[in-house]
Amino acid sequence: MATYLGFDSSTQGLTATVIEITEHQRRIVFERALAFDAEFPEYGTTHGVLVSGEGGHTVTAPPAMWAAALDRMAGILAASELDLAQIRAVAGSGQQHGSVYLAAGAAAILRGLDPDRPLVQQIDTLFARPVSPVWMDSSTTAECERLTEALGGDAALARLTGSRAYERFTAAQIRKFASVDPHAYARTDRIHLVSSFMASLLAGRHAPMEPGDASGMNLMDLAARRWSPEALEATAPELARRLPPIHDSWSVIGEIAPYWRRRYGFGPAAIIPWSGDNPSSLVGLGLIAPGTLGISLGTSDTVFGAIAEPAHDPGGAGHVFGSPAGGYMALTCFANGSLARERVRDRHGLDWDGFSAALRHTPAGNGGGFMTPWFVPEITPPVADAGPRLHGLEGADPSRLVRAIVEAQAMAMRLHSRWIAPRPATILATGGAAANRDVLQVIADVFDAEVVRGATRNSASLGAALRAYHAERRAEGQLLPWAEIVAGFTAPEAELRIRPNPANVAVYATLLPEYEAFEAGARASSA
Ligand code: XUL
């Protein structure tokens, strides 16, 4: 029997998925999530992050908390029915863009972890910076301007790295850190992404990055899949020696470190480079070939798909990343995903059943009422000042406000993903909010496409487990096609298919240009 383990270290929690693959069976045998706020209150996070600064633009998280979660999850795995000695390979997925700053001496600490003491007690001196800026941070507009200038403008930077400069992307974050705290930057020996930091803990040594997550930094030459000397130069002094190398997504870093073997009973499992959560979801949804769109409804909402060649978003709001399955993927990210849905739900004292009932009891189009979903600063379209804008919803009851937020999110997704797939026939849905079929119905109607949901909502950690399987087989000389890797786990095994309702499709066909104009007006008035 062969089993493979995938983790997902996301904004709000850590998930682990174990898959079993035998000649006759392919199934998920373990799936468990730990929520950071509830499980690790000592770190004081809200929704997994620490917000500070004027306008709430500075958003960080303590990397020690992510390490503590990995340690606790390993304990849960060890206490489960699973035989950890059977796990052949481990990979993971991390929230994208977040950076972890390690001090000189980190390599020795990683190498010498003592299996008799909990991980967090041994990593006090690991960090040159106790917090990590994460993807929700929008405090680096000035740094983005400098980078854009130095690298020849938005279009040139997008051609080189796959994206124009973005506040949350790692280059702008590193640039800010190096100039605001030069002493701490000087003490920084290695800068990791969340993904490569977590892989380093498992491998007991500095892990490489891989092209899927490294392309979320504005630092990688997307075509060559290596660091761009110009981008590094424009970002911070002596950056090249502080970054890990970029290896293939399917390379093997080494065996899991003795700490994990002795403390929890792992066998000699291979550690595979971790990727970003969206690239991992691409694999977990089985989106290997172009044509189908994936939508992940998590803390952020993202729309993505595999693409054959790196196309660029003419609207400038999208990204091209390397796909961990080879080739490329296109993605548009909305900061106001689940946080915005939860704000509306909580403000009106509803639970998720009440939220769904509100959607069922209100008509498509909401009687012409609109709301932009910008409860926190938005990434797509870029809006710095948080605060939803309302139109035609004066005195509206809670159920219309619920419909307004869900319709706005779905229409924004449609408008800003036209560059990826103008008319997708099928959308694969994942993420926590994909549990809600009434939300998925709105998406089906707005896109005029069938929405399909697989058996798990944790596509990022499933994708990581599938990547572990692929890489381990490859290392053993068995080059399996991706279709065979994902078979039995992804879309064709759909648990739910939602067809668009033709009457609602007609309503949204009229509404979409109206929402587009409303969104443009709301942005202009906030600029
Ligand atoms: C993608 C992005 C978010 C994070 C969330 O560009 O910023 O989706 O990856 O985990």
pLDDT range class, residue 334, cuts 50, 70, 90: very high
Whether residue 314 is predicted with pLDDT greater than 90 in this model: the reply is: no
Q: What DSSP line would sit under 195-206, residue for residue?
A: HHHHHHHHHTSP
User: What pLDDT does 151 receive?
Assistant: 97
User: Could you report the per-residue pLDDT of 212-226, keeping only the tens digit for each?
Assistant: 999 999 999 999 999
Closest CA to 191 of 213, 165, 164: 213
User: What pLDDT does 494 receive?
Assistant: 64
Q: Which protein residue has the closest C-alpha to ligand 1 atom 9?
A: 96
Whether residue 309 is predicted with pLDDT greater than 90 in this model: the reply is: no
| Residues having CB within 6 Å of any atom of ligand 1 | 10-11, 95-97, 135, 168, 216, 276-278, 300, 302, 333
The SS3 assignment for 523 reads helix
Q: For the whole model, what pTM was predicted? A: 0.96
Secondary structure element (H or E) that encloses residue 250, with its range: none
Give the residue-averaged pLDDT of 56-71.
Answer: 97
For residue 507, give Cα distances in angstroms to 91, 310, 393.
44, 34, 18
pLDDT range class, residue 430, cuts 50, 70, 90: very high
Q: Which protein residue has the closest C-alpha to ligand 1 atom 6?
A: 333
For residue 229, give Cα distances in angstroms to 218, 224, 241, 272.
12, 12, 12, 26
User: What pLDDT does 225 receive?
Assistant: 96
Whole-number percent of the chain with pLDDT over 90: 90
Q: What DSSP line would sit under 143-194, residue for residue?
A: HHHHHHHHTTSHHHHHHHHSS---TTSHHHHHHHHHHH-HHHHHHEEEEEEH
Lowest mean pLDDT among 142-146, 417-421, 462-466: 417-421
User: What pLDDT does 250 receive?
Assistant: 98
Relative to the CA of 296, which ligand 1 atom is closest? 8
Give the residue-averaged pLDDT of 335-353.
Answer: 95
- Tell me, in angstroms, the distance from the centre of ligand 1 to residue 155's CA: 22
Q: How many angstroms separate the first and last alpha carbons of the chain?
A: 58
Whether residue 454 is predicted with pLDDT greater than 90 in this model: the reply is: no
Whether residue 63 is predicted with pLDDT greater than 90 in this model: the reply is: yes
Q: Which protein residue has the closest C-alpha to ligand 1 atom 8?
A: 300
Relative to the CA of 94, which ligand 1 atom is closest? 10
User: What pLDDT does 318 receive?
Assistant: 92
Whether residue 492 is predicted with pLDDT greater than 60 in this model: the reply is: no
CA angle 523, 525, 527 (to 5 degrees): 65
The SS3 assignment for 452 reads strand
Give the residue-averaged pLDDT of 328-339.
Answer: 96
pLDDT range class, residue 287, cuts 50, 70, 90: very high
Per the CB < 8 A criterion, the answer to whether 13 and 48 are in contact is yes
The chain-wide mean pLDDT, for the chain, equals 95
CA distance 108 to 273: 20
Give the residue-averaged pLDDT of 57-85.
Answer: 98
Whether residue 493 is predicted with pLDDT greater than 60 in this model: the reply is: no
- Tell me, in angstroms, the distance from the centre of ligand 1 to residue 278's CA: 7
User: What pLDDT does 1 receive?
Assistant: 79
DSSP state of 291: T
User: What pLDDT does 54 receive?
Assistant: 81
Give the residue-averaged pLDDT of 398-420.
Answer: 96
Whether residue 527 is predicted with pLDDT greater than 70 in this model: the reply is: no
